[in-house]
Amino acid sequence: MFLAFREIGRAKTRFGLLIAAIALLVFLILTQQALQTGLITSFIGAIERQSAPVLVYSVDGERTLQGSSITPDLEAGIARVPGVAHTGRIGQRTFTVAIDGRAQSDAAIIGYEHADLGAPQPLSAGRLPAAPGEAVGSEGDFRIGQKVAVLGSAGRPDLTVVGLARDAQIQVTPTLSVRWPDYVAAARATNPDAAAILPNVIGVRPDAGISDTQITARINAALPQADALTRSQAAADTPGVTAVTSSFDVIFLLFALVVPLVTGLFFLIITLQKSRALTLLRAIGAPSGVLVRALLVQVLIILGGGILVGTLLYAPLSQTKVGSLSLRFDPAAVLTWAVLLLVLGVASAFAAIARVLRIDPVEATTGEGGR
């Protein structure tokens, strides 16, 4: 311990720069992690956080909420499948809206027929719609009491935000959840000539004793034109989610390689530079274990300091909003990356440790201690 702290004290700039480099890498890793989580949540959050345990798409909808369309015959067929206890219509479209009569923007509106089949859950504030013209808005995009007008050629249906749901966006768009009649009214405002407003998916709740997986298998077997998925499957299989996850995983892999590479090279170079001093210490009786422990203490101080500083830099950023993405501090992600980087960093110091263990005290008397 004494050797480790003494050397750090004599080379504050050198070790300080390495801590700063590790901190910057940790900050970038955690920021990328927050962006990935925020992007995926904003893309499929409304699917993950709705009350229907099973969603049934049309096969040609390719598992996209807005691309699917359920015909009356298919809807009736789903309700007749043995084991289906309850069904409800769910629809989603994107509209141009005016908020409080001023700002205009795009917003997704999700309509549901029954509160237990498609309503957002849980709510972070307020309540679910109980009367015509009420809506639950995605937290961070709307406030309770705001008036939202759907702009269209056939009138301006007005909605009042009475509740907020956290992480309830769809397609990275501010999202409102309303009862089915209000959704139909909004759809007709933008397309008054539509013969019928069809649901995009059907929410299903199975009978008691039948699992969500079992009912999806029954529906898919009975109706070739139906594509039934559990709630988690519907979220994970949404087109684009896998591509986003894979892209970020490549970035995380590169970061995971850079941190141990930087740490390992630094300590290997430092060990080679001070090889004469280490040889002399071994010659006067310092055990190799003492030198190895000093090296490991330095590695832990550098990595621990870098992780701490990087996390402190990331903390205020994680409370901000980037466009429609809401970022937040994720303790689990911070802990996971901290442990991973500590393990990789210590492992990367093995080359320097091996060099210390190879030091022969006799070299101090032959003038070869610097080789």
The per-residue pLDDT for 364 is 47
Amino acid (one-letter) located at 121? Q
Which region, left, alpha or beta, applies to residue 83 given φ > 0 means left and ψ of -120 to 50 means alpha? left
pLDDT in tens, 57-109: 999 988 888 889 999 999 999 999 999 999 999 999 999 888 887 767 889 99
3-state secondary structure string, the chain? CHHHHHHHHHCHHHHHHHHHHHHHHHHHHHHHHHHHHHHHHHHHHHHHCECCCEEEEEHHHCCCCCCCCCCHHHHHHHHHCCCEEEEEEEEEEEEEEEECCCEEEEEEEEEECECCECCECCCCEECCCCCCCEEEEEECCECCCCEEEECCCCCCCEEEEEEEECCCCECCECEEEEEHHHHHHHHHHHCCCCCCCCCCEEEEEECCCCCHHHHHHHHHHHCCCEEEEEHHHHHHCCCCHHHHHHHHHHHHHHHHHHHHHHHHHHHHHHHHHCHHHHHHHHHCCCCHHHHHHHHHHHHHHHHHHHHHHHHHHHHHHCCCEECCEECCCCHHHHHHHHHHHHHHHHHHCHHHHHHHHCCCHHHHHCCCCCC
Amino acid (one-letter) located at 160? T
Beta strands 158-165; 134-138: pairing state: parallel
The per-residue pLDDT for 246 is 85
Mean pLDDT to the nearest integer, 244-263? 84
The per-residue pLDDT for 128 is 95
State yes or no: pLDDT of 244 exceeds 90.
Answer: no
Q: Token digits for 267?
A: 């300590």
CB 89 within 8 A of CB 112: yes
pLDDT-derived band at 274, boundaries 50, 70, 90:
low
The per-residue pLDDT for 369 is 47
pLDDT-derived band at 330, boundaries 50, 70, 90:
confident
Mean pLDDT to the nearest integer, 200-227? 94
pLDDT-derived band at 272, boundaries 50, 70, 90:
low
CB 282 within 8 A of CB 361: yes
pLDDT-derived band at 12, boundaries 50, 70, 90:
confident
Distance of CA 262 to the CA centre of its chain: 27
The per-residue pLDDT for 275 is 60
pLDDT in tens, 294-328: 778 888 888 889 999 999 999 888 777 766 677 78
Mean pLDDT to the nearest integer, 33-60? 91
State yes or no: pLDDT of 199 exceeds 80.
Answer: yes
Q: What is the CA radius of gyration of the chain?
A: 30
State yes or no: pLDDT of 157 exceeds 60.
Answer: yes
Angstrom distance (rounded) from CA 177 to CA 10: 62
Bigger pLDDT: 343 vs 153: 343
Mean pLDDT to the nearest integer, 43-66? 92
Highest mean pLDDT among 60-64, 261-265, 272-276: 60-64
Angstrom distance (rounded) from CA 74 to CA 129: 28
Angstrom distance (rounded) from CA 26 to CA 302: 12
Highest mean pLDDT among 9-18, 107-116, 289-298: 107-116
State yes or no: pLDDT of 258 exceeds 60.
Answer: yes
State yes or no: pLDDT of 218 exceeds 70.
Answer: yes
